[in-house]
Structure 1
Amino acid sequence: MSGPLFGIVPAGQPLIAEPSSTPSPTSFLYALPTTKDFHHIMVFLLPAVSLPPNTAAAIYLATASDVSSGNPNFKFLGGIGPGKESAMFKVSNATTDGLVIGVEVESEESVGQRLQELAANKSKNPSGAQQQQQQQQPPTVVLAQRIIQNAFNFLASFSGTAGPGGVEVVPLKAFQNWWEKFESRVRADPSFLEKQSD
């Protein structure tokens, strides 16, 4: 594999197409800039580049000091290849060390297996924001009770008595009015019932 194969773009930074080192014919290391903060990087195959058949590119991340010490602790981020020529990854360059992206051309099977493991780990260990959302989201029963309470409160103001037994009735039009208002509120803020305190 000769010539630049991959492009790396840290958010808000220029394109990096030349690797800072090539440990093997299928391994490429790209030192990321330390001058500005960024939180995402895009990795992609350069135009007119195609990988050998049945291969894909595994994307890894390590700190520059780990790489220079000869003991890199690369973390698998994801992969690109035929049918998925680019990917964006969330990273943090808060380290003063600097970051290095490693790209390794491997078998499609190996990269696919690693992607499945990564997806399984994410579902077992959701990020802090996902955990917080899962913990804060009320159960379906509570949401149903809040919808009923909302309807009851609205319709109570329309109730009147009718007939010989003094039975309370609510005009059907009132229910239609409640539904229109409720639907409009859900469209404006789909999570309003989740935020409501009991």
Structure 2
Amino acid sequence: MFGCLVAGRLLQTNLQQVDETHALFELPNASTINHVCVFLLGTMPFPDGYGATVHFHWPEKGFQLLGMLSNEKPSAIFRLRGTFTPSTTYGAFNAGQPTEASLPTDVTAILGLSVEPLDQIHAQMGSLPSFIAKPNQDPSKDPTVLAERIVKNLFNYLSSFTGGGPLTPDVAVPMGLIAKWYEGFMSKVKNSGVAFLEREQS
């Protein structure tokens, strides 16, 4: 149901199920990770009224809430480096590890996903200092929002060539398709800026 992509690495679909509503990805060599993208694979939507919170766990530091996914927001990019604050941990994943140890240089971190009702998710999102509920947020002023929308645009474009099936790591994508997407994408940016990315979110 979920995929995970760390910049410069292969797509991860090796999701480990913890229980009916919790799952995780292991992120080896976590000290080298700056950003991670998490998304729905398109094989199965959330049940109506449900989504997932996304949490990051650094060994001995507990889990920290990063953000959310839903059928309306099927992908998200999160900045990991320099954002961890041990005081904001999440009990459903947190096994009570100490929070004072210094960060190891090379560790395996965990990206946790918790399927929950959307009303509970939105309540949690409101507690994030970085969460701003602006439906008309200008992506050109936030590089993370802009990058997420560009990746989603490419993902949607490539998915249209799979005959309606999901885009998985086993699906070969000809480089010519990516070149064609790039030419069309840059043409739109030159003609109308990035406003079309905002329209694709609605």
Q: If the length of structure 1 is used for normalisation, what is the TM-score?
A: 0.51
Q: Tell which structure's C-alpha radius of gyration is larger.
A: 1
* C-alpha contact 2:54 2:68 (8 A) present in aligned 1: yes
Matched AA of 1:74: F
Conserved? CA contact 1:12–1:38, under 8 Å:
no
**Partner residue of 1:40?**
35
Task: Say if 2:51 and 2:68, in contact at 8 Å, map to a contact too.
Answer: yes
Contact 2:6 2:33 (8 Å CA) reproduced: yes
How far did 1:48 drift?
3.0
Q: In structure 1, how many angstroms separate the alpha carbons of the residues matched to 2:105 and 2:66?
A: 18
Q: Is 1:77 the equivalent of 2:66?
A: yes
How far is 1:78 from its partner? 0.1
Which structure: greater helix fraction?
1
1:114/1:35 Cα in 2 relative to 1: closer, same or farther (>3 Å)? closer
1:60 to 34, 38, 55: 55
* Residue 115, structure 1, aligned to residue 144, structure 2: no
Q: How far off its partner does 1:12 sit? A: 1.1
CA distance in 2, matches of 1:35, 1:115: 24
Q: Offset at 1:36?
A: 7.8
- In structure 2, relative to structure 1, the CA distance for the partners of 1:117 and 1:36 (3 Å cut) is closer
Partner of 1:15, secondary structure, is coil
How far the C-alpha of 1:35 sits from its partner, in A, is: 7.7
Aligned equivalents of 1:122 and 1:57: distance in 2?
18
Kept in 2, the 8 Å contact 1:56–1:82? The answer is: yes
Q: Call closer, same or farther: CA 1:36–1:73 in 2, change over 3 Å.
A: closer
User: Using the alignment, how far apart are the partners of 1:77 and 1:40 within structure 2?
Assistant: 11
Whether contact under 8 Å (1:29, 1:100) holds in the other structure is: yes
SS of 1:8's equivalent in the other structure is: strand
**Shift of residue 99, structure 1, vs aligned partner:** 1.1
- 2 CA distance for matches of 1:112 and 1:36? 30
Q: Which residue of 2 aligns with 1:8?
A: 4
Deviation at 1:110, TM superposition (A): 1.0
Q: What are the equivalent positions in structure 2 for 1:87-126 lying under 5 Å apart?
A: 87-92=76-81, 95-118=105-128, 121-122=129-130
Residues 3 and 39 in structure 2, CA contact (< 8 A), matched pair in contact too: yes
| C-alpha distance 16-122 of structure 1, shift in aligned 2 (>3 A) | same
Deviation at 1:38, TM superposition (A): 2.5
The 8 Å contact of residues 51 and 121 in structure 2, kept in 1 or not, is answered as yes
Identity of aligned residues (%): 25
Q: 1:151: which partner in 2? A: none
The offset of 1:11, in angstroms, is 1.0
User: Aligned pair count?
Assistant: 110
Structure 1, unpaired ranges of 5+: 67-71, 124-198
> Deviations for 1:127-164, whole angstroms, at most 9, x for unmatched residues?
xxxxxxxxxxxxxxxxxxxxxxxxxxxxxxxxxxxxxx
Aligned-partner Cα distance in 2 for 1:10–1:30: 11
State the AA in 2 paired with 1:76: L
